Structure formats: C-alpha cells, structure tokens
Amino acid sequence: MASAPTVSPCRSFDEHGRALPLAEEEVRRRAEQAIRTLEALWDLGDEAEQRATLEALVTALDEDRPPELRRFPGCA
C-alpha cells in the first residue's frame, strides 16, 4: 500500500480554486524559471529539424480533411 506524502506541494490555489498571494521572491523565482525553460527550448533542434517537424505536423493535421476544410491550405 502506498503511503501519503509527508510534505504537500507548494500550491498557488486554495481548495476553492482561488489564487493565493505569492511573495515577491516566489514570483521572481517562478519568472526566472520560466525564462530558463523558454531559453532551453530555443536550443532544441536545428532549423532543418524544426522545419521537418512543422511539415509533419501540418500534414498530420490536414491529411483527413477535405481540401476546402484544411487548416493549412497550400502548405506541406
């Protein structure tokens, strides 16, 4: 049988779904982490890989749609 965690995770909302106020330091820490994450995404894959991924996504999204209902007409 699994045991319950002893430390509850840091939450931004109360049991009613209302936002809890965050300390300025916590807001800054979260913003800095978000920036680091976005910067890390920037370095994923090279341009050719990104273009190939986009082409595959466009093709997959439109392949079963009639020509007049395609989301990306003229692409891929």
For 9-59, write each residue's pLDDT tens digit: 567 788 898 988 889 999 999 999 999 999 988 878 788 988 899 999 999
Distance (Å, whole) CA 59 – CA 71:
10
The pLDDT, as a whole number, for residue 36 is 94
Give the global pTM.
0.44
Q: Render the burial of 35-73: b for 16+ CB within 10 Å, e for the rest.
A: eeeeeeeeeeeeeeeeeeeeeeeeeeebeeeeeeeeeee
The pLDDT, as a whole number, for residue 2 is 58
- 72 pLDDT above the threshold of 50: yes
Give the pLDDT band of residue 7 (cuts 50, 70, 90). very low
